[in-house]
Amino acid sequence: MPLAAQGISPEHVFEELTSAAAEDADWRAGRTWSLVYNAGEDVLAVARRAYDAFFSANALNPMAFPSLRRFETEILETAARLLHGGPDAAGNLTTGGTESILMALKTARDWARATRPQVGAPEVVLPVSAHPAFDKAAHYLGLRLVYVPVAADFRVDLNAVEAALSERTILVVGSAPSFPAGVIDDIPALARLAAARGILCHVDACVGGWFLPFLERIGEPVAPWDFRVEGVTSISADLHKYGYCARGASAIVYRERALRKFQFHVQTDWPGGLYGSPSMCGSRPGGPIAAAWAVLRYLGQDGYERLTRTTMDATRRLLDGVRALGLDVLGAPAMSVFAFSARDLDIYALCDAMDARGWKIDRQQLPPSAHLMVSPGHAPFVAPFLDELGASTRELRGGGPTPPGSAAMYGALAATPDRRQVGEFLLGFMDSLDRT
């Protein structure tokens, strides 16, 4: 698109925006099972209004926008309380889970440089189920990752963790819950291993951080995962997932304020002035911060508990329905995120069949499975989803025609032993996206 010589009217701009979105994921109709966490039009309206009011505000300079400083401080206080951090807990808002994880790893690296300089090439031990944000962060920061497998229950294999620990290990990672199977790693065991060696333990609660506390409050069993577990030193918890806030908001929280200093960056000799930055971004948009504060105030504890009940009720109906169709749920999902596989049909073909019916389901590998992240907005659509999943399953089992789709490609990629080749394929795909 060359920049037009002359601008057009706002009406015309909005017409174009609306028509551009015609093919986008229809999340309002519950048709997509990731990416958007829909808690209803009322929550959206609050977030949008707050976002708009602080659209131009910039948290880069906390002195220029005391409002944003206050919002960030209060959101972090709320987060620290929910995560059962003590009075010394401290953290920051970031733009999302990936940035929170990047900050946790940067903190660990710089903490290790300062306190154990004898560790030349620091290592992080983590399960293969940990989110790719860790891989990305380690790549950016020059850290070595030591991956360990998960056990039959899809939680990290503790024997493998023990075997992977060395004098170079600075950080151990667990998820609450993991993305692929939605299970909570044995955080007490991981934290114990870390504490015994005097190293750090990060819990990735990007998914569970704003859900599990309310699940516990409504009386459901939740395995220990937060700062009540001795040895957990940092937690990432995304507001823009189950906090139902506007995208671009996550919290990184440390058990001890002193640890957070390793996250900060300062530059003292810049002609432009003294420069301090808490996290990855320079300019920090005010919209997501104000929207997060507004949504927390609007929903309150009872609002989150209500939404948690709705989501868990929808999740249970889905789990029962999926199992009733003879499909296998992976492990024992801790909350509203789960995956299922099939012994007697190609799960990727089932996803294609559902695509053809307008349902977008994420495909996973190792093992091949379909992945659902349930939000409150899915509740009215559980029955039609299960009806169509049943119809698709019966068609495939009856030897019906395999719908056109990506099943063959996913199957081949999942089974390719040379993962570098798969990486090259992915790079080529990404590179092709802007070629219309």
Ligand X SMILES: Cc1ncc(COP(=O)(O)O)c(C=O)c1O
In whole angstroms, how far apart are CA 99 and each of 31, 176, 200, 211?
28, 17, 18, 20
Q: How far is the CB of 302 from ligand X (least distance, A)?
A: 26
Q: How far is the CB of 265 from ligand X (least distance, A)?
A: 20
According to the binding rule CB under 6 A, does residue 98 interact with ligand X?
A: yes
According to the binding rule CB under 6 A, does residue 96 interact with ligand X?
A: yes
Instruction: Name which of 224 and 405 has its Cβ closer to ligand X.
Output: 224
- Phi first, then psi: what are they for 186, rounded to 5°? -75, 85
Residue 334 and residue 208 in contact, taking contact as beta carbons nearer than 8 Å: yes
Q: How far is the CB of 356 from ligand X (least distance, A)?
A: 26
Q: In 10 A of CB 137, how many CB atoms? A: 25
Give the count of residues interacting with ligand X (CB under 6 A).
11
d(CA 111, CA 132): 22
Provide the angle, in degrees to the nearest 10, between the axes of the packed helices 41-53 and 286-324: 160
Residue 364 and residue 370 in contact, taking contact as beta carbons nearer than 8 Å: yes
Q: Which range touches ligand X (CB under 6 A), out of 92-100, 192-200, 362-370, 423-431?
A: 92-100
Instruction: Name which of 123 and 204 has its Cβ closer to ligand X.
Output: 204
Q: How far is the CB of 117 from ligand X (least distance, A)?
A: 30
Instruction: Name which of 263 and 392 has its Cβ closer to ligand X.
Output: 263
Task: Enter the DSSP assignment of 401.
Answer: P
Which of 193, 206, 229, 389 is close enough to bind ligand X by CB under 6 A? 206
CA 91 from chain centre, in angstroms, equals 18
Instruction: Name which of 213 and 403 has its Cβ closer to ligand X.
Output: 213
For the chain, how many residues are written?
A: 436
DSSP for 182-244, written as a single string: -----HHHHHHHHHHHT-EEEEE-TTTTTTHHHHHHTT------STTSTT--EEEEETTTTT-
Q: Which range touches ligand X (CB under 6 A), out of 55-63, 111-119, 203-211, 374-382?
A: 203-211
Instruction: Name which of 95 and 233 has its Cβ closer to ligand X.
Output: 95
Q: How far is the CB of 204 from ligand X (least distance, A)?
A: 5
According to the binding rule CB under 6 A, does residue 80 interact with ligand X?
A: no
Q: How far is the CB of 282 from ligand X (least distance, A)?
A: 18
According to the binding rule CB under 6 A, does residue 225 interact with ligand X?
A: no
Which of 133, 148, 253, 318 is close enough to bind ligand X by CB under 6 A? 133
Kindly provide the b/e burial profile for residues 254-292, where b requires at least 16 CB atoms within 10 angstroms of the residue's own CB: bbeeebbbbbeeeeeeeeeeeeeebbbeeebbbbbbbbb
Which of 123, 157, 185, 204 is close enough to bind ligand X by CB under 6 A? 204
Q: In 10 A of CB 308, how many CB atoms? A: 24
According to the binding rule CB under 6 A, does residue 185 interact with ligand X?
A: no
d(CA 304, CA 298): 10
Q: Which range touches ligand X (CB under 6 A), out of 115-123, 140-148, 201-209, 212-220?
A: 201-209
Instruction: Name which of 157 and 185 has its Cβ closer to ligand X.
Output: 185
d(CA 112, CA 427): 33
Sheet holding 90-94, edge to edge: 90-94, 250-254, 234-238, 200-204, 169-175, 123-127, 144-148
Instruction: Name which of 177 and 403 has its Cβ closer to ligand X.
Output: 177
Residue 318 and residue 386 in contact, taking contact as beta carbons nearer than 8 Å: yes
Residue listed under structure tokens 């899809």: 154
Instruction: Name which of 175 and 263 has its Cβ closer to ligand X.
Output: 175
Q: How far is the CB of 16 from ligand X (least distance, A)?
A: 28
According to the binding rule CB under 6 A, does residue 106 interact with ligand X?
A: no
According to the binding rule CB under 6 A, does residue 131 interact with ligand X?
A: yes
Instruction: Name which of 157 and 238 has its Cβ closer to ligand X.
Output: 238
Which of 102, 207, 229, 351 is close enough to bind ligand X by CB under 6 A? 207
Q: Which residue is nearest to ligand X (CB)?
A: 97
Q: Which of residues 165-184 bind ligand X (CB under 6 A)?
A: 175, 179
Strands 169-175 and 200-204 turn out to be: parallel
Which of 157, 185, 186, 238 is close enough to bind ligand X by CB under 6 A? 238
Task: Enter the DSSP assignment of 143.
Answer: P
Which of 97, 122, 368, 377 is close enough to bind ligand X by CB under 6 A? 97
DSSP run (H or E) holding 100: helix 97-115
Instruction: Name which of 106 and 131 has its Cβ closer to ligand X.
Output: 131
Q: Which range touches ligand X (CB under 6 A), out of 91-99, 278-286, 341-349, 399-407?
A: 91-99
- Facing residues of 200 across strands? 171
Q: Which of residues 310-329 bind ligand X (CB under 6 A)?
A: none
Residues that bind ligand X (CB under 6 A): 96-98, 131, 133, 175, 179, 204, 206-207, 238
